[in-house]
Homo-oligomer: A and B are copies of this chain.
């Protein structure tokens, strides 16, 4: 079995390589990237793999591909993969809302994988983290509305975002490469471009993708996405309004049993999710669970969650889909 990582030298591509290695995934690996990275060598399961330049013929001998390139480039190489009947798990947002393309979080809607026509989309990172955190609660209480404010790490903007924070933490006058403004000791309430409603692309994703993943076209999401000076792991402050009345104790028990979640909820003893703690592992930490005292109907709950957006928010989720595909 031959598996290609397309965009193998970027932050997500590199994490895909590491996830496959950790899981000791039995395959021949092909690493594809731009001409600039051609010839770079990475190790996979004890063997050297040389990065090849992505071109029309890259997929001739490939069975499955993990996509980790930007939308424009993804749209360019996808026909090359499809011509060769390669089954692709793609991390870009280019095809996520296409009705012919399943959008999958394996803990939530693994059954959708079987509906694929050669392409499965990996959801947005902040969406994966929120939906994993909320999935058990959604089953029990039926979530109608999500109000979310994010605290998103710089590595969400790739290797350049990490470099900006490194540089500016030492010298704030060093100009940003990945961001419009200084990010060290600052925050930027913009991720992606804005539409005429004043909503950013990133802010639309949780509603649009959440509806598709949960098969609930009535889901309503109010989202504010903010970049913060943290290297890795996104955090989210979330209020949910539900059809059923909520119970805090029960909600904590549900989260503790939800696949992919760890309950970290003993605030009096300093136990709550923090991005440092969720960095470089695959689970979503959930805590600060409490009744929303501003909703007198008792149908609203507040939670705080953190997850590694390069792992579970991107690479790990894609590899989990691949594992299910291969099975």
Judging by beta carbons under 8 Å apart, are B293 and A220 in contact? yes
Judging by beta carbons under 8 Å apart, are A274 and B145 in contact? no
Among A229, A230, A294, residue most surrounded by chain B Cβ atoms (within 10 Å): A294
Which residue in chain B gives the minimum CB-CB distance to A228?
B228
Give the residues from 169 to 217 in chain A that come closer than 8 angstroms, CB to CB, to chain B. 169-170, 180-182, 184-190, 193-194, 197-200, 207
Give the residues from 201 to 255 in chain A that come closer than 8 angstroms, CB to CB, to chain B. 207, 220-222, 224, 226, 228-231, 235, 237, 239, 248
Interface residues of A (CB under 8 A from B): 145-147, 149, 151, 165, 169-170, 180-182, 184-190, 193-194, 197-200, 207, 220-222, 224, 226, 228-231, 235, 237, 239, 248, 265, 267-268, 270, 272-276, 287-296, 300, 302, 304
- A82 to B59 CA separation, bound complex (whole angstroms): 82
Judging by beta carbons under 8 Å apart, are B239 and A189 in contact? no
- A104 to B80 CA separation, bound complex (whole angstroms): 66
Judging by beta carbons under 8 Å apart, are A296 and B200 in contact? no
Looking at the complex, which one of B187, B292, B302 makes contact with A151 (CB distance below 8 Å)?
Answer: B187
Contact A200-B267, Cβ < 8 Å, known A187-B230, A237-B226, A296-B220: yes
